């Protein structure tokens, strides 16, 4: 009888432990696995997707983690859930890796914007035209900016979309 009682107590405790552990929040799951990321495209496929989806493009001429501006963007802007959601919903995000030789289309865009091999953010409409302010200046930056300033640039790009070819 004592053996049967011990087994019963063990099963009861084991079942209780399982129930309690199944009710615990899943905070121990690596949140980075659950975190959404920006969907980055290369220039040509990104422009094709922009034309198909009728969305503007954010183009990031990117120099990688050794670049202070690029590193700051990766850590403080591109990992922010609101930024990620907004970019993936309203834009086609294009990243041009300046550590690699540029293809002719990437080089032509860099020449148009006179990047001189420097990192830069800029915007294109769905036809691939540079989005400019009402005053005619391209909406772009080579500066370190805050998340709020970045969101302002996104708003400016959407609000200043030029007419597209039909």
pLDDT tens digits, 96-143: 999 999 999 999 999 999 988 899 999 999 999 999 888 888 988 888
Q: Tell me the per-residue pLDDT of 9-57, one tens digit each, with 9 for 90 and over.
A: 655 655 555 455 555 554 444 454 457 899 999 999 999 999 999 999 9
Q: If you average pLDDT over residues 158-162, what whole number do you get?
A: 79
pLDDT at 147: 94
Which residue is associated with the tokens 């930056």?
141
CA distance 5 to 102: 75
CATH code for the part of the protein at 37-159 = 3.40.30.10
CA distance 77 to 51: 26
């Amino acid at each position: 009888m004592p053996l049967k009682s011990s087994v019963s107590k063990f099963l009861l405790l084991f079942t209780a432990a399982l129930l309690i552990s199944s009710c615990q929040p899943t905070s121990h799951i690596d949140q980075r696995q659950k975190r959404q990321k920006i969907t980055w495209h290369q220039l040509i496929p990104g422009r094709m997707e922009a034309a198909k989806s009728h969305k503007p493009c954010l183009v990031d001429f990117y120099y990688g983690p050794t670049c202070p501006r690029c590193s700051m963007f990766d850590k403080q802007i591109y990992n922010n859930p609101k930024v990620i959601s907004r970019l993936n919903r309203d834009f086609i995000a294009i990243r041009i890796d300046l550590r690699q030789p540029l293809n002719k289309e990437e080089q032509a865009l860099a020449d148009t914007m006179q990047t001189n091999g420097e990192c830069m953010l800029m915007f294109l409409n769905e036809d691939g035209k540079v989005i400019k302010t009402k005053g005619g200046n391209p909406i772009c930056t080579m500066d370190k900016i805050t998340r709020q300033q970045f969101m302002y640039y996104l708003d400016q790009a959407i609000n200043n979309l030029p007419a597209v070819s039909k």
